[in-house]
Structures are given as structure tokens and as C-alpha cells.
Amino acid sequence: MAQTKKNRKYYSKNIKERFLDEIYSDDKTKQTNSYIFYKTAERMENHLGKDIYEFTEDEMESLLHSLEARSFQSISRYVSTISKYLDWSIDEEMVYDNMNILKQYKFVGQELSKYVHKIAVNKKYISEEELDEILDVLSINAQDDAIFVLLWEGVKGKGLSELVNLKVSDIDGNILNLTDADGSKRKLQVSDKTIEVIDDAIEQEEYLAYSDNAIAKARKLIKTDYVLRKSNKKTKDATSAQTIIQRINRLGVRQDNPFLTAEGIWWSGMINLARKIKEEKGLLENNDFENIMIKFNCLTNSKHKYSYIHKVKAIIEENL
């Protein structure tokens, strides 16, 4: 059973919690970093019977491999947090040689790429053929199909809010009127195929749940104003992001791809659109990338705009 935020177990719990309280004032940041220590305990500390500030260089390398980071950004975040913890441990005189081994060259910059989980990277994104396999073969619920095609088209929002908030009344022909978490609105044109899937999801009356890769009994879907709905719940409120994530996870198991995520499906749609534009034009220009980012609602006007465009271009070009 997965650990909740409240019952996560760390090695040297009192020390880790003191570090988190002293270094991070923001509760959300504190919770994010606490999960890293849950993983270090589960993967290595409990087995070795010692805290990570006591790890040898070889043990630290084994730990970083065992974390199974799905991207360079993830492993960089893990190393940054653990390195801060080692520095703090040195200041607290818990490290006898006063050396933070994560500041060696092999744990810095692009050297960290070797600790990214290769299978996770290969399975993070799906092709259009794999999407069709999920929709036509593996999925047995139009409600689940709708999640996949909407993400593929660029519907996401902060915390999946554009998916959660989508109402039947928000559909105007092939135009979706989307609402993000902060109340901001935008219009998105989608394909005929996506509209057909959405219509089927709206009409679905029972949800066939999966259990250990098998089909369990049907559950009644509550009729609400929303496209994506809960099953066996009396409330007519919108569904939750957690429900959407769970449905994606179950289909990932059926596809033998535990690395399937909402973020990955969304990125896959972006990569697929770029591939089609390149096939038509023979190349991708800067305005093509900007138009793709506008469709997927990730073209920020902040001071980080151009660095984020560079990041998107790099991910797309790497996966074409």
C-alpha cells in the first residue's frame, strides 16, 4: 500500500524532519522534498542500516540509480535536496570528514544524466499508434478514452483543472471552452475524433472498473454537468485530478507501461503535432514551436519565456 504524506517513514525520522523544518519554510516545498527522503529510506537506507550522510561514494551512486528518476530534471532535484541535507548534516557535525560527496564531478551537471532511468525515458511518451491501441484494444470505458484524447489535444491546466472543470455546456461544435485553476479561460479547437470520444463519454452510464488487470463489476456513473464523472458517488461535484491519475495508471498497467502519466500523454500529443508539421513542411521553425505551445497552453509571458521555449524545443526535437 502506498504511503500517504502523513505516514511516510524516513530513516532517522527526527533528523530528517528537523532538516525539513529548518531549511524549507513553504509547506508544499517541504512535502515535495519529504517524498525524496521516503524514497531514500525505502531504496537504500533501511537495507544498509545507516543514514545517507554516512554513505560511501559507491553507495551514493547505487542510491541515485535506485531512485529511478524519469527525467534529468527529476534526478537534478533529488541530488539538490540530498546535497542540501548533506551540507546541513556537516554543519550539524554529523559528518565526520566534513565532505559532501555529491559535490564531486560525477554528481554534478550533465554527469547526472547517467542516473536517469532508461526504461522510464523510453516509455514516458507514446506514439499515435500506441494511443490508438489504448483506445481501441485496452480501454473499455469511453470515460477513460476521453481523458487520453483530451490530454493528447492539449487539455490539461494546472493540476489537470481544464480536464476536471470541462462541462458538457463548454462544448460548442469542435470548440472547447476551457477553465484553468485560477479561473482563466481559453478556447481550443479539437478534432472530430475527439468530439466523438467526448460524446461517448457523456453518454456512458456505467463504469467498468479494473482490478489486478481484470475487469471488475460495473459501477454506475453519476449524471452531472461534467464530461468526466465519478462512479458510485452521490455528489454531483466535478471529479478529482486523483481519479483521473488513477484511471491513467490502471490503463498503464494494462499496456505494461507503469511509466504512463498525464504529463507524458500531454507531451506525447505535443510531440506528435510537431512531427506532423515537420512531415508537411520538411522543417520546424520557431513560429511552429510557439504555435504548438499556444495550443498546449504553455507559452508563458514571464521572464522565463525563452528558456521554456528552448526546453520545449529540445524535448520535441529529441523525440521526433
Which region among 25-29, 68-72, 194-198 has the lowest average model confidence (pLDDT)?
Answer: 68-72
What's residue 119's pLDDT?
64
What pTM does this model have?
0.67
User: 136 φ, ψ to 5°?
Assistant: -90, -25
Q: Which range has highest mean pLDDT (19-28, 66-75, 210-219)?
A: 19-28
Q: What's the average model confidence in pLDDT over 7-17?
A: 83
Per-residue pLDDT band at 1 (split at 50, 70, 90): very low
**Residue appearing with cell numbers 502506498:** 2
- Average pLDDT for 227-232: 88
Which residue, chain included where needed, has cell 523544518? 21
User: Which burial class, exposed, middle or buried, applies to 304 when counting CB atoms under 10 A from its CB (0-12, 13-18, 19+)?
Assistant: exposed
Confidence of residue 3 (pLDDT cuts 50, 70, 90): very low
32-35, long-range: CB within 8 Å, 24+ apart, which pairs?
33/81, 34/5, 34/8, 34/10, 35/8
Of 186, 136, 195, 193, give the one whose Cα is nearest residue 156.
186
Residue 249's contacts (CB-CB under 8 Å, 6 or more residues apart) are: 258, 260
In this structure, of 33-37, 97-101, 216-220, 263-267, the range with the lowest mean pLDDT score is: 216-220
CA dist., res. 259 & res. 134, Å (int): 14
Report the pLDDT value the prediction gives residue 144, as an integer from 0 to 100.
94
Q: What is the pLDDT of residue 91?
A: 93
SS3 194: helix
Per-residue pLDDT tens digits for 110-125: 788 888 876 656 677 8
How confident is the prediction for the chain on average, in pLDDT? 87
Q: What is the mean pLDDT of residues 74-101?
A: 90
